[in-house]
């Protein structure tokens, strides 16, 4: 009973970093700051990769295995919630767990489309655009905008759910994501947390992957060296 350490620092940093970067991506895209937009997109890529790794290497409340449940568990949770007898869950409940997975999936799709996308004039393109045809890059650019609107809808639903829990269920979900701790009125099982070396390993792998993608995903040291040393193409060169 009392306050329990619920969310570890990596989970909370990921959550709030996504909030900040999502707004920054929207602003940079709307204002034509393409280079900044691509840089932020690569940071978002690193975050998504990190969260996937942390879903296997992190503590008990961060691991996918603790909150990704089948349809039956989700339906049972919804029925119990309607009847006011939902059990106390330390971490994400079955529905919240799928909300996390949908968010990660949409973010991964959005970033992936941005990596191969190009604008209609083929002036600006993602770092992996050279792997696809002009038509594919053009279609990816259009889909990139569509998925962003879907993400906006998802964010709106997420905020609505947080407000519902706050004002209807009297359950503040924001404070634990800030402090890492949550008060429970009954005895619950204490979560376990991962050692620091797993966090450092996950960060290193995610950063290395994002850096590799930023170089155009070279498959040899020579290609990586050339990509690192090559100056960015001008708008005219990109168009040609």
Residue ranges in the chain assigned as alpha helix (H): 9-30, 34-57, 64-67, 71-82, 94-116, 134-167, 174-179, 196-214, 221-229, 235-239
User: Cα–Cα distance between 39 and 16 in angstroms, integer?
Assistant: 18
pLDDT the model gives residue 224 = 60
pLDDT of residue 231: 59
Q: How far is CA 75 from CA 31, 70, 95, 131, 203, in A?
A: 43, 9, 9, 42, 35
Give the pLDDT of residue 238: 40
**Would you say 45 and 88 are in contact if contact means Cβ atoms under 8 Å apart?**
no
Predicted confidence at residue 229, as pLDDT, reads 63
Return the closest-CA partner of residue 186 out of 61, 80, 89.
89
CA 157 to chain centre: 16
Instruction: Return the pLDDT at 123.
Output: 64
pLDDT at position 169 is 86
pTM of the shown model: 0.90
User: Spelled out in words, what is the top-level CATH class assigned to the domain 2-239?
Assistant: mainly alpha
Q: Helices 94-116 & 134-167, crossing angle to 10 degrees?
A: 150
Per-residue pLDDT of the chain in tens (240 residues, 90 and over written 9)? 578 999 999 999 999 999 999 999 999 999 989 999 999 999 999 999 999 999 999 999 999 999 999 999 999 988 988 887 778 888 999 999 999 999 999 999 999 999 999 876 656 799 999 999 999 999 999 999 999 999 999 999 999 999 998 999 888 999 999 999 998 888 888 899 999 999 999 999 999 999 999 999 987 666 666 666 665 554 334 433
- Please give the structure tokens belonging to residue 206: 């995610």
């Amino acid at each position: 009973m009392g306050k329990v350490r619920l969310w570890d620092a990596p989970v909370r940093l990921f959550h709030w970093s996504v909030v900040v970067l999502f707004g920054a991506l929207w602003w940079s895209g709307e204002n034509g700051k393409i280079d900044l937009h691509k840089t932020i997109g690569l940071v978002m890529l690193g975050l998504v990769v990190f969260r996937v790794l942390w879903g296997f290497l992190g503590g008990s409340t961060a691991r996918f295995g603790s909150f990704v449940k089948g349809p039956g568990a989700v339906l049972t949770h919804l029925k119990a919630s309607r009847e006011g007898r939902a059990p106390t869950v330390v971490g994400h409940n079955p529905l919240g767990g799928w909300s996390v997975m949908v968010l990660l999936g949409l973010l991964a799709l959005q970033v992936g489309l941005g990596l191969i996308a190009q604008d209609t004039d083929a002036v600006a393109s993602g770092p992996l655009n050279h792997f696809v045809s002009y038509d594919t890059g053009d279609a990816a650019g259009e889909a990139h905008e569509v998925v962003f609107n879907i993400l906006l809808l998802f964010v709106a639903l997420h905020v609505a759910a947080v407000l519902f829990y706050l004002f209807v269920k009297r359950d503040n979900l924001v404070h634990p994501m800030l402090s890492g701790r949550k008060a429970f009125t009954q005895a619950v099982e204490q979560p376990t947390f991962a050692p620091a070396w797993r966090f450092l390993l996950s960060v290193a792998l995610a950063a290395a992957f994002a850096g590799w993608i930023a170089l155009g995903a070279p498959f040899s040291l020579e290609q990586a060296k050339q990509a690192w040393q090559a100056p960015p193409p001008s708008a005219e060169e990109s168009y040609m």
